[in-house]
């Protein structure tokens, strides 16, 4: 997708997910002809800040307003510092930061809480910030998630991937998919846990010594417990029909611990991995395949795309249930798995600057949903001059 405008708009998409393991930043250049990804960088989550975020989300935890305000500021300062560090090579050319924020709570029908104060980011970097992407869609009656189907549709149509039916499936802490076929509107929803169950199982069984199963190596050594998997898959979320979205609030460590009991580390990882894969495949079966919708290829992105054992479990589960589906990484669409979410939010920032709704029928939105919140930086005048070049 060539970019030919004399003054393209460069947006840095910054994403921290439910897994709370790190921050990805992707710089994307936009003009009226399209976009191109310029570069990508990552930064690990500071351990102390990660502990604060997870403690905030612990079921039953009580928080006063001072705790909330401090965490919002500290996340904003860390996001600003990360932007200055990760974008050092391109800071003079970056116009806008698209900051997803750290999800602290997500309750469809009530609201969502994304922390990381944009005012601190704009003040520290001097750049205009677009944030708070989800609340406008929820105000319009939507779930506030997933928001990325517009970007997925752009990718799939430009590459021809949607011709015979495909999905772009993000496996972050939470797993979400966008189903695309030809010119039909996207269908999208959260399937449930992505890396969440696996990370929690590994951390619990290792007593905090490990935070994830890198590459699925532990799961490959273990034996899944089918009774535990059956218990996990009884969660009522899996029976809901789209539109639907979920988060850590609904899939708690307490429920996982009850299912896994005292399984050793490798077996716990294997059980959580197979349960996660089966929940995804069951969702495809109920909501796509058994409805007669064509599905040729699934393009994986997010951290879970690097978990070889999880990907293998997906392939085996599809075959076990009698479905022949090809699974590939999203790099086949021109955007690497680890870049997809951050690049998508850069795109959503562009749409927000143009005043366009970023949700849609797939979230359940019933009317125009106000897009992301714009916090002008010192460079706002130059950003405003470039916006007409995107139309």
* Tokens coding 175: 């797993």
* Tokens coding 374: 């714009």
* Each residue's pLDDT tens digit, 115-139: 999 999 999 999 999 999 999 999 9
Say which CATH superfamily domain 149-333 falls into.
Answer: ATPase, nucleotide binding domain (3.30.420.40)
> Please, are residues 355 and 129 in contact by the beta-carbon 8 Å criterion?
no
Q: How far is CA 295 from CA 76, 250, 315, 338, 363, in A?
A: 41, 29, 14, 23, 21
pTM (2 decimals)? 0.94
Q: In terms of DSSP bridges, do strands 111-115 and 34-44 run parallel, antiparallel, or are they unpaired? A: unpaired
* Each residue's pLDDT tens digit, 339-378: 999 999 999 999 999 999 999 999 999 999 999 999 999 9
Q: Could you list the mean pLDDT of each consecutive 10-residue stretch along the chain, which spans 391 residues?
A: 65 90 93 91 93 84 84 95 83 89 91 94 96 96 96 95 97 97 97 97 95 97 98 97 94 92 96 98 98 98 97 98 97 96 97 96 95 97 94 82
Query: Would you state the torsion angle of the CA atoms of residues 345, 346, 352, 358, taken in this order, to the nearest 10 degrees?
Result: -30
CATH 3.40.190.10 fits 9-142+337-390, yes or no: no
Domain range summary for the chain, segments of one domain joined by +: 9-142+337-390, 149-333
């Amino acid at each position: 997708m060539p970019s030919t405008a004399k003054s393209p708009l460069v947006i840095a998409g910054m994403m921290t997910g439910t897994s709370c393991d790190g921050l990805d930043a992707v710089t994307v250049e936009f003009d009226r002809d399209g976009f191109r990804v310029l570069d990508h960088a990552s930064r690990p989550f500071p351990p102390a800040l990660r502990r604060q975020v997870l403690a905030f989300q612990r079921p039953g935890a009580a928080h006063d307003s001072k705790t909330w305000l401090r965490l919002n500021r500290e996340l904003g300062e860390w996001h600003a510092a990360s932007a200055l560090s990760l974008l050092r090579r391109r800071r003079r050319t970056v116009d806008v930061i698209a900051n997803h924020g750290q999800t602290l709570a997500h309750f469809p029908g009530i609201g969502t809480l994304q922390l990381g104060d944009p005012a601190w980011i704009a003040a520290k970097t001097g750049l205009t910030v677009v944030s708070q992407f989800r609340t406008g869609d929820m105000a319009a009656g939507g779930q506030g998630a997933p928001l990325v189907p517009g970007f997925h549709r752009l990718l799939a149509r430009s590459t021809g991937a949607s011709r015979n039916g495909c999905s772009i499936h993000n496996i972050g802490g939470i797993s979400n998919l966008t189903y695309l076929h030809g010119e039909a509107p996207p269908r999208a929803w959260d399937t449930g846990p992505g890396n969440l169950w696996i990370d929690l199982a590994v951390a619990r069984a290792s007593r905090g010594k490990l935070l994830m199963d890198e590459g699925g190596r532990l799961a490959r050594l273990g034996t899944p417990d089918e009774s535990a998997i059956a218990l996990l898959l009884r969660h009522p979320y899996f029976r809901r029909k789209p539109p639907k979205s979920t988060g850590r609030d609904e899939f708690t460590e307490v429920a996982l611990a009850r299912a896994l009991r005292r399984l050793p580390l490798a077996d716990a990882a294997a059980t959580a991995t197979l349960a996660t894969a089966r929940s995804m495949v069951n969702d495809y079966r109920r909501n796509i395949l058994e409805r007669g919708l064509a599905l040729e290829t699934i393009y994986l992105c997010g951290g879970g795309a690097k978990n070889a054992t999880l990907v293998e479990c997906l392939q085996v589960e599809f075959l076990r249930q009698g479905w022949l589906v090809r699974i590939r990484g999203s790099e086949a669409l021109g955007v690497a798995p680890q870049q997809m979410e951050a690049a998508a939010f850069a795109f959503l920032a562009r749409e927000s600057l143009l005043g366009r709704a970023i949700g849609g029928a797939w979230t359940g939105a019933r009317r125009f949903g106000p897009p992301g919140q714009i916090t002008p930086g010192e460079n706002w005048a130059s950003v405003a001059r470039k916006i007409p070049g995107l139309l």
